[in-house]
Structure 1
Amino acid sequence: MAYKTILVHVDDAPHAAARILMAAELALQDGAHLIGAAMTGVSRFLYQNEMVDEQDPNLALHLDFLRQRARRALVQFGPHVQALGLRSFEERLLDDEPGAGLSLLARHADLVVLSQADPERQGAPLPDYQAQVLTDAGRPVLLVPHAARTASAIAVNAAGVASAGAPAPGQHVLVAWNASKEAARALHEALPLLARAASVHLAIFDAELRPGVYGDKPGEDVQRWLERHGIHAGIVLRQSARQGLLKRPADIGDALLALASELGSDLLVLGAYGHSRFRETLLGGVTRTVLESMHLPVLMAH
């Protein structure tokens, strides 16, 4: 099992280089085809509903500006991934918003690579496009933190093949496991990465609050399932901080990120929750906390 088609968002943001590097390295590891997609930012539904008059000189000028900006980003994409040694790739430009356009393209890809949500947009009334892709694409999303490296750690020969023993992204993986369908989906979608990881840990918080959900021994059932895939995973049991008079469990997003640092993890696998179109309820509390505070790549599935 491997990712054979990887989609990466291409734009002129300063952190685009880190996300493109991560996508290219994954493509090299799996011999995958990489699609670099740039969006103009104008919804395709405006064109379909004939709400845009491209003959309007002011509007035409603005649309041309948006398309030129997207094209400039794509012009840099090809040389970038070629310099890394990638041979199989293509460039796509869509007249669409990032969330809708990427969600559409993702349906014929195995993985979508995006950057962490822009911290300057936190608290905006509408969701960031990352959240929309998570809920609408039907594919796993790998989110790359803004502070991620921009220099490749993979050696590639003249034929464009990653050298033996080259470090793959996600050497030490932490999986947030709560036995939900979202967590199960994320874990399944992460199998190509887990199969070549040096270490995998399953983090279970507050197992005593849900007796019977995790098996006779918390995590044992999913641990055995992974072993049948040739993946050995350790189990880390933790209890979240209790808060309030009723001592209810606190949001474990920060605890997950702290555990990732403690274990030296370089990838977190997490199920994404939520369905509303409004940012305040689009994603669950743990998901929001991780998206806003992440310091390592996070693979999510909804």
Structure 2
Amino acid sequence: MMKSILVHLNDSASCETRLRLAKHLSEKFNAKISGIHFSATTFALENQSVPQNLDVNNVTDINALVLNTRQKKVLSEKAAVQRKLDKIFSTDFLPSWETFIGDDGHRLIANCRYHDLMILSSTLNLGSLLERLNSTIASVASESGCPIFVIPSEFCTLPSFCNPVIVWNSGRAVARAISDGLPFLKEAKKVTVYCDSSSSNDSERRRSGLLKLSEYLTRHDVSHEIITTELREDNYSAHLLKRISEAEHDLAVIGAYDHTNVKETMLGSVTRALMQEAKIPIFLSH
């Protein structure tokens, strides 16, 4: 059940796409939309117009100039975000939203925990926290427990989700992503499941797992096709990206991995490669 959607807001072209997607899902599932905006304010004295009467040796004067410049920057960013909201939503349906100063990964993760879905930009950068968490958006999913839609920064049209692909490896994370993503998968004309046939030494166990996956998708009225192919570690990402491009998939459903073992390290690199190079929305859970 999707009743609460959190949207990452900024002054980018893809922000409007994220808002249109949130509005579409809100209308479809009667969900509430909230927004979160981070103003990563920086200040460099040499890049500013410094008043002639400023005493550069006076700490109070310098601090006042820094504070004034930062306040102006934050207000400018907030005004730009508000214009995007006004463009997408009617005045009686404007989402509530908050601005936080700095790249606060803690705050983003904490807020995600109270929503059913987070819609993020693929260029999200939340500084030191995510550096400690391998600098991946997948870490936001794994730390918050909230499923995430990642919209590429250059993606400027409302996603259709008619031809999604599931990257299946029989793991818990991708199983969770499928379950969380059922509202979108059920609307697709056909869902393609890519399965790495080299991911298990027990071929009978793999076939049994794929049969159960197919039965699960069928029970939920998801039209699907399962394609098995051998993917070696050295070409895993490249092979998937080629398949996605050739088949013109418009959504990838994947697991979010936190690199707790060698296998997840490889899969985590696949997650990053898809977000950086696939040029389509990514849906991931942990």
> Structure 1 runs of 4+ off > 4 angstroms?
124-129, 212-215
- The alpha carbon displacement at 1:299 in A equals 0.4
- The alpha carbon displacement at 1:214 in A equals 5.1
What do the CA deviations read for 1:13-49 (whole angstroms, capped 9, x no partner)?
A: 343223222322222332222112112337xxxxxxx
Q: How many residues align?
A: 259
- What corresponds to 2:227 in structure 1? 236
Distance between the aligned counterparts of 1:209 and 1:86, measured in 2? 54
Q: Secondary structure at the match of 1:290?
A: helix
Higher helix fraction (1 or 2): 2
CA contact (8 A) 2:200 2:206 kept: no
User: What TM-score, normalized to structure 2?
Assistant: 0.77
Structure whose alpha-carbon radius of gyration is higher: 2
Q: Of the candidates 78, 82, 99, which is equivalent to residue 89 of structure 2?
A: 82
What do the CA deviations read for 1:69-123 (whole angstroms, capped 9, x no partner)?
A: 442233123212216x99362222234525332212211111111121379x9xx
**1:226/1:283 CA distance change after superposition, 3 Å:** closer
Q: Of the candidates 75, 80, 84, which is equivalent to residue 73 of structure 1?
A: 80
Q: Give the letter for the 2:277 counterpart.
A: S
- What corresponds to 1:93 in structure 2? 99
CA contact (8 A) 2:165 2:252 kept: yes
- What corresponds to 2:12 in structure 1? 13
CA contact (8 A) 2:6 2:36 kept: yes
Q: Percent identity?
A: 23
The gaps in structure 2 that reach 5 residues or longer are 42-59
- What corresponds to 2:54 in structure 1? none
The gaps in structure 1 that reach 5 residues or longer are 43-52, 153-167, 243-248
- Aligned-pair RMSD on alpha carbons? 3.3
- The alpha carbon displacement at 1:271 in A equals 0.4
- What corresponds to 1:39 in structure 2? 38
CA contact (8 A) 2:13 2:154 kept: no
What do the CA deviations read for 1:223-249 (whole angstroms, capped 9, x no partner)?
A: 111222222321111122x5xxxxxx4
User: What TM-score, normalized to structure 1?
Assistant: 0.73
Q: Give the letter for the 1:36 counterpart.
A: G
Matched, 1:108 2:107: no
**1:98/1:69 CA distance change after superposition, 3 Å:** farther
- The alpha carbon displacement at 1:59 in A equals 4.8
Q: Of the candidates 142, 155, 180, which is equivalent to residue 135 of structure 1?
A: 142
